Amino acid sequence: MFTMLPVNLRLATRSLSRNPMRTLLTMLGIIIGVAAVLTMVALGTGARGTVEDEVASAGTNIVFVKSGNYTRGGDSVGIAAGRGAATTLIEADANAILDNIAGIRAVSPGLSLRTFISSNGENVFTRVLGIAVEFSDIYSWNMTSGRMLAPGAANEAVIGSTLAQTMFGGNAVGQEVELRGNTYTIVGITDSAIDDQPEILFVPWQTLQQSMDISHLDSITIAAEKAGETSRISGEVSVLLRARHGIESRDDVNFLAAQSGGGVEPDDFTVETQAAQALTKGLYTPAAAFALANLPKLDEVTLDEMANTLDRASNTMTALLASIAGVSLIVGGIGIMNIMLVSITERTREIGLRMATGARSADVAMQFLIEAVTLSVIGGCIGLILGLLSAKVIGWSLGWPASVSLTAMAMAIGIAATIGLIFGSYPARRASLLDPIDALRTE
Amino acid sequence: MSVITLENIKKTYYLGDNTVNALRDVTLNVEEGEFVAITGPSGSGKSTLMHILGCLDRPTSGKYMLNGNDVSGLPMEALAEIRNRQIGFVFQGFNLLPRTTATENVEVPLLYSRPVLTSAERKDMALSALSSMGLADRVDHHPSQLSGGQQQRVAIARALVNNPAIILADEPTGNLDTKTSIEVMKLLQELRKEKGITIILITHEPEIAAYGTRIISMRDGLVVSDEANTPREDFDETRTAYKAEPVVAAAAVE
Ligand SMILES: Nc1ncnc2c1ncn2[C@@H]1O[C@H](COP(=O)(O)OP(=O)(O)O)[C@@H](O)[C@H]1O
Ligand SMILES: [Mg+2]
């Protein structure tokens, strides 16, 4: 049966190339269907990949407290306008969190700054983070060379690997950097690849705070003892800090309503889990900020919840694309069936002749089945190219990576071939059941 | 040896309440190498007989022995194989595939050969069949680039390519002018003489039937006369004025 394949393929391509416009129009449904399938798969696996990457890289046990809150700037209109400034977060808050909340492994106060630092007379603009020595434990740092800041040492610094490379060609340990009038000696290079850490200079937060002449913190970084406790910890941190900052505690469910009425004082801090931070990265638009600021508990969302949300979003998209794909594939299949029936009517005498010269019913059926499958597979290939393009475009505009595996491509072509088989089988059978005498007599 | 033996062949068509007895009772014996011309008026059952002889159709009753084998009760799949190996058809309208070269047209029966032939074997066989029809310089032409006579010669090459025992030709000259008709008859006579192929020719024209070694006349589904004939050997068209108007060659299969 398959020995006829090359011949049948040649017959099929010849027959299809005879009417290029008709062939193309017939393939349209398959093209769109396969493109939709591919876009669907690409975005689906892309979204899942994002979540999985973040789970892998971020871990699930870190909670951030940040000074200020999205709701501050936009109080009057009830729309978030960015994280409002606040100077109420202090070292005592960090100590209180460590003392009062169970299940916390380590806490580090933080101060963040973008500034010029100078070394050997050269100025570099970079990010500086004031941290406590616990910071290396929170992020499970390894030092590629040197060591972590020593407890109590005021003028030591640790440098991220990328920054070490750009500033010192990698030989950073022992170098001195000047920042806000203080000179720090670099004692180690961290291997951390999390977030922007490779590009940050880390210094003791107390020294940085003094040199900036302030008394508040920008952030507190908390490591939970166990992964999966971040949700509880962030809830307790919120309650604790509201109490400490004299903010009326509130029922989260009624929060939105109360706030739009203007009756409740907003928080002056933001609690975020590592998960929420990681996952909203890249989706950072005013709308997203508004949603983050105004949805109860969203800041406390766990990675699992966030992953579920993203999964749901990608499922919605998948469902939409799947219905487009389904409909176009069926329409495409019917188009193929229709054009095959037309083709068989046009070629009835050819079929009669083939039968008269020895073609069995199965030979005739195979010829037209292969023609239908060729039609749908060519359509599938065009759809594949189109789908890859559209996945790229949609992925790019949503900030979602769109990855298409070879398996997915093979699957798309497989679907196209299956459509050709299913919808080609009825016309093929019709052709094979023709009576050779009648067929030869056809005008 | 008998190539064809028909015993009491009947073929009845049922059209609603009407029955048409296309063949009433045909008994016939054809020896190897005969050139049988079957004539008769339209509707006398010539084509029906040819379809049964060509294994395209099965008789309603009666027995058909082809090369000593009873084929009257075989299923259609088995008949397809017999058509492929033992029978070559030549049609009035040529039935060549359009936009397909002469070689590929002649290869069609070879596509269904068992055991399977390679494409090189198919091509060789097609080319030699074409050159035996004097078309060695036309092998890559499409039907639309060939004259009616050339098209019919491609069709004969196609009928010959599998070395069949019988060639069945239903009005092969019906679409050809006198001169070309004579050429085709000459070719068929040569095939008979040189290869010993049995030829069954259907025609309603006595002048064409005269090229056969035996002439059978049919009427109303019955054989009414069956006589040996000294085949006409003159290929001089000026002496045969049986067809004044050249007929426009029918288009190939569309
Ligand atoms: N498929 C068919 N169905 C019904 N009647 C048919 C069919 N084929 C042929 N006939 C009838 O059988 C008779 C013989 O037809 P045919 O063999 O074609 O005659 P010829 O070829 O001698 O003109 C005619 O009356 C014709 O109408
Ligand atoms: Mg007839």
Residues of B within an 8 Å Cβ radius of A: 51, 54, 56-57, 76-77, 80-81, 83-85, 89, 91, 95, 97, 99-100, 108-109, 111-113, 116, 119, 158, 162, 253-254
The protein residue with its alpha carbon nearest to ligand 1, atom 8, reads B48
Contacts of B84 in chain A (CB under 8 A): 357-358
Q: How far apart are CA B26 and CA B44, in angstroms?
A: 12
Helix (H, G, I), strand (E, B) or coil at B37: strand
Average per-residue pLDDT in chain A? 82
pLDDT given for residue A51 in this prediction: 59
User: Please, are residues A378 and A27 in contact by the beta-carbon 8 Å criterion?
Assistant: yes
Q: How far apart are CA A29 and CA A321, in angstroms?
A: 14
Contacts of A4 in chain B (CB under 8 A): 111, 116
Give residue B202 CA to ligand 2 midpoint distance, Å. Answer: 8
User: Please, are residues A93 and A194 in contact by the beta-carbon 8 Å criterion?
Assistant: no
Which is nearest to A337 in space by CA: A412, A431, A416, A420? Answer: A420
Is pTM beyond 0.90 here? no
Which is nearest to A432 in space by CA: A361, A367, A370? Answer: A361
pLDDT given for residue B40 in this prediction: 94
User: To the nearest whole angstrom, how far is the Cα of A353 from the nearest Cα of chain B?
Assistant: 7
Average pLDDT value for residue range B4-18: 94
Q: How far apart are CA A8 and CA A374, in angstroms?
A: 10
CA dihedral (A345, A350, A356, A361) positive or negative: negative
Tens-digit pLDDT profile for residues A240-265: 998 888 887 655 545 544 444 445 56
Size of interface A-B (CB pairs under 8 A): 64
The protein residue with its alpha carbon nearest to ligand 1, atom 7, reads B13
User: To the nearest whole angstrom, how far is the Cα of B109 from the nearest Cα of chain A?
Assistant: 5
A131 or A226: which leads in pLDDT: A131
Contacts of B99 in chain A (CB under 8 A): 14, 18
pLDDT at A390 over 70: yes
Contacts of B51 in chain A (CB under 8 A): 437
Helix (H, G, I), strand (E, B) or coil at B183: helix
pLDDT at A309 over 50: yes
As given in the structure block, the two tokens for residue B246 are 């050249």
Ranges assigned E (strand) in A81-197: 104-119, 122-131, 143-146, 156-160, 176-179, 182-190
- Indicate the pLDDT class of residue B47, thresholds 50, 70 and 90: very high
Average per-residue pLDDT in chain B? 90
pLDDT at A292 over 80: no
pLDDT at A40 over 50: yes
pLDDT given for residue A141 in this prediction: 86
A139 or A438: which leads in pLDDT: A438
* Chain B residue with minimum CA distance to A346: B254
Contact B91 A363 (CB under 8 A): no
Tens-digit pLDDT profile for residues B117-152: 999 999 999 999 999 999 999 999 999 999 999 999
Highest mean pLDDT among A277-281, A395-399, B126-130: B126-130
pLDDT given for residue A72 in this prediction: 40
Give residue B22 CA to ligand 1 midpoint distance, Å. Answer: 6
Ligand 1, pocket residues at CB < 6 Å: B 13, 15, 20, 22, 40, 42-48
Q: Which helix (H) or strand (E) holds B79?
A: helix B76-86
The lowest-confidence range among A18-32, A205-219, B153-167, B240-254 is B240-254
Phi, psi of B24 (to 5 degrees): -90, -50
pLDDT given for residue A222 in this prediction: 92
The lowest-confidence range among A66-70, A198-202, B45-49 is A66-70
Contact B95 A354 (CB under 8 A): no
The protein residue with its alpha carbon nearest to ligand 1, atom 1, reads B13
pLDDT at B226 over 90: yes
Out of B112, B158, B254, the one facing A359 most closely (by C-beta) is: B112
Helix (H, G, I), strand (E, B) or coil at A239: helix
Strand partners, B19: B14
Q: How far apart are CA A336 and CA A422, in angstroms?
A: 10
pLDDT at B241 over 60: no
Contact B89 A356 (CB under 8 A): yes
Contact B109 A349 (CB under 8 A): no
Residue B212 DSSP code: S
Contact B83 A440 (CB under 8 A): no
pLDDT at A356 over 60: yes
Average pLDDT value for residue range B38-54: 95
pLDDT given for residue B247 in this prediction: 42
Contact A353 B77 (CB under 8 A): no
As given in the structure block, the two tokens for residue B251 are 């288009």
- The residue extents of the domains of chain A are 2-55+304-441, 108-219
* Chain A residue with minimum CA distance to B88: A357
Helix (H), strand (E) counts: chain B = 7, 10
Contact B51 A437 (CB under 8 A): yes
As given in the structure block, the two tokens for residue A21 are 């416009």
Q: Could you give the count of Cα atoms lying within 13 Å of B82 in the half-sphere of its Cβ? A: 24
Which ligand 1 atom is at minimum distance from the Cα of B221? Answer: 14
Q: What part of A 322-351 touches B (C-beta under 8 Å)?
A: 346-347, 349-350
Q: Could you give the count of Cα atoms lying within 13 Å of A429 in the half-sphere of its Cβ? A: 7
Q: How far apart are CA A113 and CA A120, in angstroms?
A: 21
- Indicate the pLDDT class of residue A174, thresholds 50, 70 and 90: very high
Helix boundaries (H) for A132-285: 135-138, 161-168, 205-212, 230-244, 252-260, 274-280
pLDDT given for residue A55 in this prediction: 52
* Chain A residue with minimum CA distance to B250: A443
The protein residue with its alpha carbon nearest to ligand 1, atom 21, reads B47
Contacts of A361 in chain B (CB under 8 A): 76-77, 80
pLDDT given for residue A157 in this prediction: 94
Q: How far apart are CA A440 and CA B94, in angstroms?
A: 11
pLDDT at B52 over 90: yes
pLDDT given for residue A191 in this prediction: 85
Contacts of B109 in chain A (CB under 8 A): 357-358
- Indicate the pLDDT class of residue A18, thresholds 50, 70 and 90: confident
Average pLDDT value for residue range A91-120: 91
- The residue extents of the domains of chain B are 2-252
Tens-digit pLDDT profile for residues B171-195: 999 889 999 999 999 999 999 999 9
- Indicate the pLDDT class of residue B244, thresholds 50, 70 and 90: very low
**CATH fold label, B2-252:** Rossmann fold (3.40.50)
Average pLDDT value for residue range B22-43: 95
Average pLDDT value for residue range A413-422: 95
